[in-house]
A and B are shown apart, each in its own frame.
Chain A
Amino acid sequence: MNHMAVFIAVIGLSAFGFYIGRSRSIKTVDGEIRKLNSMPGYYGMFVALWCGLPALAIFSLWMVFESSVIMSLVASGLPPDIQSLPKEQLSLIMNDIRNIADGIAVSEKRDIYLLSAAEHVNRLKFTGVLALGVLVVSVCTTCLSLSMKHIKPNMRARVNVEKTIQALMILCSTIAIFTTIGIVLSVLFEAIRFFQQVAFTDFIFGLHWSPQMAIRADQVGAAGSFGMIPLLTGTLMISAIAMLVAVPVGLMSAIYMSEYAADKVRTVVKPVLEILAGIPTVVYGFFAALTVAPFIKDLGGNVGLDISSESALAAGMVMGIMIIPFVSSLSDDVINAVPQSLRDASLGVGATQSETIIRVVLPAALPGIVGSILLGVSRAVGETMIVVMAAGLTANLTANPLQAVTTFTVQIVTLLIGDQEFDSPKTLAAFALGLVLFVMTLILNIVALYVVRKYREQYE
């Protein structure tokens, strides 16, 4: 909360800078504003930006590195016999220290060194905030006084301010790139560490997935195997079931909406269908696990089929419901983009409306529809909560949709929830799976976007 106070102080100082910059500029020309190069407000902005930006930069850098610096300082202050412990144990101890420092009692045993280290953390935090406050405020005031000296009637304050703002905007727009780089690097880095421990080919072509690792080194037969093929088939099966639901329903409703439905119906039904897209996936997951899966199981029981309560069918069907609006709204767009003249020509030579749709409109819109379906597949592959809640946890290499299968996303979640050790292949495997998932969806997206764009150009 003290960081908040520092932040507010910076903002307050900038506001103050704006005010005195503005009044100083008016004073330099004795109130005759037309003698100024820019409007007084720009001089105020000039001072405010100079006052606030460096301080905010320091502030954010501090926030980013504070906790790691503090923890490493504390770690070096621990007794030597603890420092020489293996890395995993040390990180557990550091966690304990952090929790005690935060006032969260996790472990009952509180050794004296833990308590003193926690106190050390809190002390460092306190001095840290103090130092940050002093540093930031002094930077603020220095910049403020420096920039005040620059205020002269012929200074081009507006150009200066506008250039700064534009530079800031350019900085903002690079965030998208940094995000992508961050995703690729973070996933790739950990995945490479994984492949140092597990052979790449074993991962890609392995038919067996059971990521349990030996807890102790002397345990027998718990080496864990990391073959992703069962996960791939599971993911593909659930996605296929989802698309079997979503494509016919989505496409047919898009056709009906754009070709048959009256305007009144359209204006009501379209937003209602879009509600389906707005429902959080965790809600679908709950629906799948508690309503659809038992229903399907009972239904199967009545006809004498043994259906797993975590069957791929239930998860896939509910996922299909979720994807309906994606397919239908995108297809709706592309169908509407087909020029009316094509329809008129077809109707003019005597084709019925359905013949026009099937033989003229759909072929013309096909690339766009394919693109929308691909985007739907990419959604299905990356969807997490529905499968986490409704699909199975054990990897089955099966083609039977009535059995439980597992997916990439389920495994990522189960591997990463709870305490993690960042050296075990079990945790790193999640990142390798993330890499596969990212690459798969990226390819699907690129192809889909390319197809859609190509198609749009055709009629523009």
Chain B
Amino acid sequence: MNRTGLQTKESNARLNLIKAGLKKRYFKERVFRFFGMVAILTALAMLAILFVSITGKGYTAFEQTFVRLDITFDTEMIDPENTGAKDVHSKGDYGGIVKKSLRQMFPDVKDRRQKRDLYSLASSGAAFQLRKMVLSDPSIIGTTQTIWVPTDDDVDMLMKGHIKVESGVSGRIKPYKLEWIHSLKDRGALEKRFNRALFTSGDSREPELAGIWGAVVGSLYTMMVTLLLSFPLGVATAVYLEEFAPQNMWTDIIEVNINNLAAVPSIVFGLLGLAVFLNFFGLPRSAPMVGGLVLSLMTLPTIIIASRASLKSVPPSIREGALGVGASKMQAVTHHVLPLAMPGMLTGTIIGMARALGETAPLLMIGMVAFIVDIPTGIFDIATVLPVQIYLWADSPERAFVERTSAAIIMLLAFLLLMNAAAVVLRNKFEKRW
């Protein structure tokens, strides 16, 4: 009796001790949980900040300020001898025509320096635009037309509010230039329009003329080479290792190799490309061919690993069934296992390609950083790719390139999102759970 009393007393004391600690422990529990939540929210917030800051910087690049000019296609300046020949037309003084039209809009400008500032209102691309018009339709020579041409990037930035007026006055835009801009605006001769150049032209030193199309085409060629090389090679390797290879040292070496290659920094692949493909084999610099070669070596491990996982998930009963009715091993694999594993392999390939599409560093090594105006027409042409274009633009000092860089990033992310969405759809639609 006494003893049990003592015991209850003791256990009561222990219980009290536990109860006294409970509050603290529950508090700790809540703190721990809170930290977990904070961690996730931090990560999500970072993602949100990234997206918001880039779209916030970039959305204005989809518009470009245009100025309305009354252009007189003066026969004197284009084709003084009235030959009507194309090569004479293409050599006409279109810059002079633009300047003349600007002078007509602001007839009081007399000072030479002020005149130069006046000419800089319109983009230097305006002359090319006029030449193109004349070349496509020579009958406009001698007539006067109202044409919208892109403004210089300074004016564009001012209109978009990226250059503050106060700092603009002291900096690149002088007060009288500001007055002209206001007067143009009052006359309705300044307008923001959709920036077609951004999507249709190649790189340029002038922000208002620069576009991503050259880089997009370069990326497409590079990705084509990468896909054509890495998909068959990756699938063949995965099938061999998973279905045919005997378990021995040789296959172990291959496996370890693949796993290690998957974690080698991408820039090292660039060094490989530079030393082997360019210097040893003498392949052309800056070509999508070489870029594709390097990127396919880089994406191979990703594709192999995904394909093997996909092959592994096909149940053995499928193989056994095929073998049981007399198929050879190769037939069992090609007729039965491969079709079932294909969605998983394609998913892995798309993810690998998405990574390759965003890859920059190895391509810097093989010279795909050149300033390239022309749109590439083949896999041996010099070209650049979208991420490298982003890198190049991000390095440019002009304020207008910041928004264009952001716009290029938005496009790149859109491509990647599309690819990843395709991978997800493919996985959900075709992947079987056994």
Contact = CB atoms under 8 A, between A and B. Distances in A.
A381 B265 contact: yes
Nearest to A286: B394
A182 interface: yes
A249 B42 contact: yes
A6 interface: no
A389 interface: yes
A282 B50 contact: no
A291 B32 CA distance: 31
Interface stretch (A139-147, A218-226, A442-450): A442-450
Interface string A1-31: 1001000000000000000000000000000
B29 interface: yes
A280 B275 contact: no
Q: Which size class do B's interface residues fall under?
A: 35 or more
A374 B57 CA distance: 35
Contacts of B189: none
Given A182-B276, A260-B33, A289 B271 contact: no
Contacts of A215: none
Contact of B25 (A187, A252, A355): A355
Contacts of A92: none
B281 A273 contact: no
A409 B276 contact: no
A37 interface: no
A182 B275 CA distance: 9
A169 B240 contact: yes
Main secondary structure of the interface of A (DSSP, over half): helix
Interface in A277-305: 278-287, 289-291
Closest 3 CB pairs of A and B: A382-B265, A280-B358, A256-B36
B35 A252 contact: yes
B338 interface: no
A382 B276 contact: no
Given A256-B36, A282-B388, 9 more contacts: A67-B281, A278-B354, A278-B355, A381-B265, A409-B267, A413-B267, A437-B265, A441-B264, A445-B263
B39 A186 contact: no
Contact of B237 (A176, A186, A375, A388): A176
Contacts of B49: 291
A68 B32 contact: no
B197 interface: no
Given A175-B300, A186-B275, A282 B360 contact: yes
Main secondary structure of the interface of B (DSSP, over half): helix
Interface in B370-419: 378, 382, 387-388, 390-391, 394-395, 402, 405-406, 409, 412-413, 416
27 contacts: A68-B282, A162-B328, A172-B237, A173-B245, A176-B257, A176-B304, A179-B257, A180-B257, A183-B264, A183-B268, A186-B275, A249-B43, A256-B37, A273-B40, A278-B358, A280-B359, A286-B394, A290-B402, A321-B46, A325-B43, A354-B32, A382-B267, A385-B361, A409-B267, A412-B267, A416-B271, A441-B263
B28 A352 contact: yes
B283 interface: yes
A64 interface: yes
Interface string A358-394: 1000000000000000010011011111001100000
Contact of A104 (B35, B328, B369, B382): B382
A190 B275 contact: yes
Interface in B236-289: 236-237, 239-241, 244-245, 253-254, 257-261, 263-269, 271-272, 274-276, 279-284
Contacts of B38: 252
Nearest to B229: A175
B26 interface: yes
Contacts of A253: 36, 39-40, 43
B57 A290 contact: yes
Contact of A272 (B44, B387, B413): B44
Contacts of A321: 43, 46, 50
A378 B369 contact: no
A248 interface: yes
B47 A276 contact: yes
Interface in A242-275: 248-253, 255-257, 259-261, 269, 271-273, 275
A173 B241 contact: yes
B365 A290 contact: no
B297 interface: yes
Contacts of A170: 240
Given A190-B275, A442-B260, A385 B360 contact: yes
Interface in A152-211: 158, 162, 165-166, 168-170, 172-177, 179-180, 182-183, 186-187, 189-190
Contacts of B424: 271
Interface of A: 1, 4, 64-65, 67-68, 71, 98, 102, 104, 158, 162, 165-166, 168-170, 172-177, 179-180, 182-183, 186-187, 189-190, 248-253, 255-257, 259-261, 269, 271-273, 275-276, 278-287, 289-291, 321, 324-325, 328, 352-355, 357-358, 375, 378-379, 381-385, 388-389, 409, 412-413, 416-417, 422, 430-431, 434, 437-438, 441-442, 445-446, 449
B178 to A, nearest CB: 26
B53 interface: yes
B412 A280 contact: yes
A375 B269 contact: no
Contact of A409 (B42, B53, B361): B361
A360 to B, nearest CB: 14
Nearest to B48: A272
Contacts, number: 267
Contacts of B409: 283, 286
Contacts of B254: 173-174, 176-177
B426 interface: no
Give the one of A190, A279, A437 with max B CB within 10 A.
A279
Contacts of B395: 389
Contacts of B394: 282, 285-286, 289-290, 389
A22 to B, nearest CB: 17
B225 interface: no
A278 B420 contact: yes
Interface in B205-238: 232-233, 236-237
Contacts of A434: 267-268, 271
Given A278-B354, A417-B364, A272 B260 contact: no
Contacts of B318: none
B268 to A, nearest CB: 5
Nearest to B241: A173
Contact of B260 (A172, A180, A283, A412): A180
Given A158-B328, A272-B47, A252 B36 contact: yes
B271 A175 contact: no
B43 A324 contact: yes
B237 to A, nearest CB: 4
Contacts of A409: 265, 267, 361
B158 interface: no
A417 B412 CA distance: 23
Interface string B10-36: 000000000000000110110011011
Give the one of A378, A384, A413 with max B CB within 10 A.
A384
B301 interface: yes
Contacts of A67: 281-284
Contacts of B402: 290
